[in-house]
Amino acid sequence: MTPRRGGRFVRRLAHRIGGGTPDTASAVWETVQLARHQDRPYPLDYIERLSPQFEELHGDRLYGDDPAIVAGLGRYRDEPVAIIGHQKGRDARDRAYRNFGMPGPEGYRKAMRVMAIADKLNMPVITLIDTPGAFPGAGAEERGQGGAIARSMQVMLRLRVPTVAVVIGEGSSGGALALGVTDRVVMLENATYSVISPEGGAAILWRDAGKARDAAAAFQPTAATCYRWGIADSVVPEPPGGAHKDHDEAARLLDGYLSRVLRELSALSPADRRRQRRERYRRLGAFRELPLTDGAAVAAGRLEPPSRNGTP
């Protein structure tokens, strides 16, 4: 077979995944920087290229409109689709308007509203994830930030239509996962997906936000890690140097993957999709099962770990 770009990428990725050794701190930090690069394509950049006749919808019909989430209806490969994504701003004014891609509950409720339309009209849902997390603010809390994220996940699990999530930049915390409970999750080569942003993790665990580099190295939020654990189903290559170098090429590479996976998913029945989606998340986790050493203690109603003092 003639060597192709994809071939080289696959080899590079296989090396990183199969190597077993975690990426070095500097390599991880470089990925974090790339994932947040200010010239990196955002959802509207992908939408412009993949679905030019996009009709953006606004408002959650309850309280307001959240510019940190872009949601609407478009045509992709001559089929109707719903596209939802976290939108960051590029210049200072735009960034403040988009709230740095940190949605409040209105954003997630808007997303749920658009998902409901997609479910009703039987069109696939594509989500594009790129957020440092849901917005931490008193107003967001009052209007039910936690519940909005939880319900968004629940709505996504119940959709009958095919759903695909693409982590295009940084995916941090529940704010990212709220749009990420889908049939397939794919990460771009330099995207990150983590329980919390490196700065947030450093502030909590090291009590020093300046230790973000150490936190990033510890969390290993790279595509290779997520692929190894089955959190990401595939990794899509980026143009040489990163997606910010060539938006058209980045969109073209994503297009190749998306069209294939949507075809694959639409071949399944709605019930199968929903069942497989549930099973996908039910499986995730890493834990040990100890052999039960003291059956008598269990039968008596209390199991204390052997050779340790019980609770005082």
Partner 1 sequence: MSVDKLRRRKSAPPAKRTPADDRSCPGCQSHYRAEEMRRNLRVCPVCGHHFPVSARERLDQLAEGAEWRELWPELRASDPLQFVDLQPYPDRLERAEAGGLGEAIVCAELTVGGQACIVATMDFGFLGGSMGSVVGEKLARACDRSVERHLPLVIFTASGGARMQEGVLALMQMAKSVVAFEAMQDAELPIVVVLCHPTTGGVWASFAALGDVTYAEPGALIAFSGPRVIEQTTRERLPDDFGRAEVQKANGQVDDVVDRRDLVARISAVLAILGRPAGDTAAPAMAWAQLHAEKARTMAQGLPTLSKRLVSRVLGADEETSPR
Closer to partner 1 by Cβ: residue 260 or 278: 278
Report d(CA 191, CA 170) in Å as an integer: 6
What are the backbone dihedrals phi and psi of residue 210, each rounded to the nearest 5 degrees, phi first? Answer: -70, -15
Between 1 and 299, whose beta carbon lies closer to partner 1? Answer: 299
Q: Which of 207, 174, 201, 221 has the alpha carbon at shortest distance from 33?
A: 221
Q: How far is the CB of 46 from partner 1 (least distance, A)?
A: 23
The residue among 47 and 187 lying less far from partner 1, judged by its C-beta, is 187
- Kind plus residue range of the DSSP H or E element containing 120: helix 105-120
Give the footprint of partner 1 on this chain (CB under 8 A): 22, 134, 136-138, 140-147, 149-151, 153-154, 157-158, 173-174, 177-178, 180-181, 193-196, 200-201, 203-206, 214-215, 218-221, 225-226, 229, 231, 278, 281-282, 284-292, 298-299, 301-305, 308-311
Rounded to the nearest whole angstrom, what is the least distance from the CB of residue 242 to partner 1 in the complex?
A: 21
Min dist CB 205 to partner 1, Å, is: 4
Cβ 97 to partner 1 shortest distance, Å? 16
CA 20 vs CA 10, 23, 115, 269: distances in Å: 16, 9, 38, 37
- In the block, tokens 């998306």 appear at 258
DSSP character at residue 60: -
CB of 131: closest distance to partner 1 in angstroms?
A: 13
Run of H or E including 131: strand 125-131
Give the pair of three-digit tokens for residue 178: 């709220």
**Is the CB of 28 or the CB of 83 nearer to partner 1?**
28
Q: Nearest distance from residue 66's CB to partner 1, in Å?
A: 15
**Torsions phi, psi of 252, nearest 5?**
-65, -40
- Residues present in the chain in total: 312
Distance, CA of 26 to CA of 213 (rounded, Å): 8
Q: Please identify, using beta-carbon distances, which residue of 55 and 279 lies nearer to partner 1.
A: 279
Element (H, E) at 18: helix 5-18
Q: Is 193 exposed, middle or buried (0-12, 13-18, 19+ CB in 10 A)?
A: buried
